[in-house]
């Protein structure tokens, strides 16, 4: 069913693309200078797109979270496409391009801009292109017929009511974009659609709002000053894109620091090699299954990476780092020490709380702590084995402890993730 939705979206985008290209080739390009200017802007935006998929090779849990940083890889191209869809007059002169020509120009310019990326083997996913086509077509269908028929000018005019109408149209376009973005992520990750849509709507408040605002400002600027307004009004978005890239780089460095700190337990011989990474990756998969938000997944990932940091305070390390079988008092002492260490690193307070409450009864724990505790116990019980019997036996042991130690819903989510080949989906070794 989920695959059918994705193919429906792609099919609709393909039909629109063929119709737009066919119509434009048959009747010719209306106002070619304007189409060329917007096409060049869109192509430049695609050339400047930022590919973030290299992190997948390292098994980064954040790299597989529904493309959190890949929602808007080419913001300038998106803004240019939206501006062309909402373009009315050009320097006070009426324009007559229609919806199909808009689709054709956007597709042709986007394809021209991604050719260098494809040559390097880093072309955008088909879902991104389909989403761009359908979102732009939606905005154009809502605006162009009203403008070309004259009803927009007679009914709304050029005053503040036009701005209010454009803001309302932007809200609908953002909703359409979020719905289209959540559909392939739902099919790709198996995560519930509701939380995915919520995350996409939240993402619209970031770079998405800057794209929408820039697109409208470009369209209004061209209406007054002509095409020279395009390079002027694209500068704020370029600066915003640069700021987002810097923030992303800072977050990446921050995560790498936490990962290096988490590996200290492995270097000291307190835990098995790769334990914290396995727990982090599998915990994020379980968190997605439970419908956690992006921020909750970030807290969960950091806490999972640091959940064993308290073992560095032990004189005699736990055998193989398996804390799941420790007495309650000793496990609680290690968890409290781990929480204190986590606070010293400057991580969000929620991360330290999750770390220090690992040994509490699950009914008293936050959701993230319940997930980390169950996944940590699973990896400890698995003990490095990779055969199906070991995995099933570990899950059965967790189910026996659901009366006090592990939340039943978390254990069942873990079982579903493993049944789907959860480790394969996040770049880990096979289960079988």
The pLDDT tens digits of the residues spanning 164-219 come to: 888 889 889 988 988 888 877 766 666 667 777 877 887 777 778 888 888 889 99
Contact 230, 82 (CB under 8 A): no
pLDDT at 322: 54
pLDDT tens-digit profile of 220-237?
899 888 898 898 888 888
Q: Is the pLDDT of residue 388 over 70?
A: no
Distances (CA, A) of 93 to 101, 141, 430: 18, 21, 63
- Determine the pLDDT at residue 14: 92
Share of the chain above pLDDT 70, in %: 82
Most confident of the following: 26-35, 203-212, 250-259, 310-319? 26-35
Token match 């659901």: residue? 402
Rounded average pLDDT over 96-102: 92
Query: In sequence order, what DSSP letters do the residues of 144-175 get, joined into one string?
Result: HHHHHTTHHHHHT-SSHHHHHHHHHHHHHHHH
Higher pLDDT, 2 or 146: 146
Give the C-alpha separation, 429 to 432, whole Å. Answer: 9
Lowest mean pLDDT among 69-83, 101-115, 240-254, 379-393: 379-393
Tell me the pLDDT of the chain averaged across its residues.
80
Q: Please enumerate in sequence order all residues whose Cβ is within 8 A of that of 275, keeping only pairs 6 or more positions apart, or say none.
A: 265, 266, 308, 321, 379
Whether 324 has a pLDDT exceeding 70, the answer reads no
d(CA 374, CA 238): 44
| CB contact burial 59-92 (16+ within 10 A = b; e otherwise) | bbbbbbbbbbbbbbbbbbbbbbbbbbbbbbbbee
**Cα separation, 275 vs 281, whole angstroms:** 10
Instruction: Give me the half-sphere count of Cα atoms (radius 13 Å) on the Cβ side of residue 60.
Output: 21
Q: Residue 48's pLDDT is what?
A: 79
Cα three-residue angle 127-17-110, rounded to 5 degrees = 65
Estimate the share of the chain in helix, then strand, then coil, as percent rounded to the nearest 5.
75, 0, 25
**Greatest mean pLDDT among 77-91, 147-161, 258-272, 355-369:** 77-91
- Which residue intervals of 149-293 are DSSP H helices? 151-155, 160-189, 193-203, 209-225, 229-233, 235-262, 264-267, 275-290
Question: The dihedral of CA 164, 165, 167, 168: what is its sign?
Answer: positive
Give the pLDDT mean for 36-57.
Answer: 74
Q: Is the pLDDT of residue 330 over 60?
A: yes
Picking from 284, 320, 321, the residue whose alpha carbon sits closest to that of residue 302 is: 284
Task: Output the pLDDT for position 198.
Answer: 79
Between 134 and 391, residue with greater pLDDT: 134
pLDDT value of residue 274: 84
């Amino acid at each position: 069913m989920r695959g059918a939705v994705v193919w429906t979206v792609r099919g609709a985008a393909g039909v629109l693309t063929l119709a737009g290209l066919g119509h434009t080739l048959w009747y010719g390009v209306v106002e070619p200078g304007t189409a060329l200017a917007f096409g060049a802007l869109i192509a430049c935006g695609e050339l400047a797109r930022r590919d973030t998929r290299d992190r997948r090779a390292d098994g980064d849990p954040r790299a597989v979270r529904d493309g959190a940083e890949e929602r808007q890889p080419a913001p300038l191209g998106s803004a240019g496409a939206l501006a062309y869809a909402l373009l009315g007059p050009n320097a006070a002169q009426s324009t007559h391009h229609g919806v199909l020509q808009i689709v054709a120009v956007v597709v042709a310019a986007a394809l021209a801009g991604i050719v260098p990326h494809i040559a390097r083997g880093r072309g955008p996913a088909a879902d991104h292109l389909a989403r761009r086509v359908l979102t732009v077509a939606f905005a154009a269908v809502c605006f162009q017929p009203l403008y070309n028929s004259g009803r927009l000018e007679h009914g709304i005019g050029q005053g503040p009511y036009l701005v209010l109408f454009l803001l309302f149209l932007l809200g609908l376009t953002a909703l359409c974009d979020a719905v289209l973005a959540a559909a392939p992520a739902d099919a790709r990750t198996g995560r519930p659609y509701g939380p995915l849509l919520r995350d996409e709507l939240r993402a619209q408040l970031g770079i998405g709002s800057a794209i929408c605002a820039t697109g409208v400002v470009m369209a209004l600027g061209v209406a007054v000053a002509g095409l020279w307004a395009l390079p002027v009004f694209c500068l704020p978005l370029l600066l915003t894109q640069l700021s987002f890239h810097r923030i992303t780089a800072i977050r990446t460095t921050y995560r790498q620091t936490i990962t290096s700190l988490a590996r200290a337990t492995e270097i000291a011989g307190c835990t098995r090699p790769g334990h914290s990474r396995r727990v982090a990756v599998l915990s994020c998969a379980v968190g997605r299954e439970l419908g956690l938000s992006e921020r909750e997944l970030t807290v969960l990932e950091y806490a999972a990476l640091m959940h064993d940091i308290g073992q560095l305070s032990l004189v005699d390390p736990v055998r193989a780092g398996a804390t799941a079988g420790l007495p309650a008092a000793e496990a609680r002492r290690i968890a409290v020490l781990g929480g204190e260490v986590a606070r010293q690193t400057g991580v969000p307070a929620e991360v330290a709380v999750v770390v220090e409450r690992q040994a509490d009864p699950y009914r008293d724990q936050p959701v993230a702590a319940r997930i980390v505790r169950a996944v940590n116990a699973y990896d400890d019980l698995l003990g490095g084995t990779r055969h199906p019997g070991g995995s099933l036996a570990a899950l059965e042991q967790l189910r026996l402890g659901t009366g006090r130690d592990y939340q039943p819903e978390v254990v069942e989510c873990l079982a579903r993730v493993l049944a789907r080949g959860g480790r394969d989906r996040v770049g880990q070794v096979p289960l079988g």
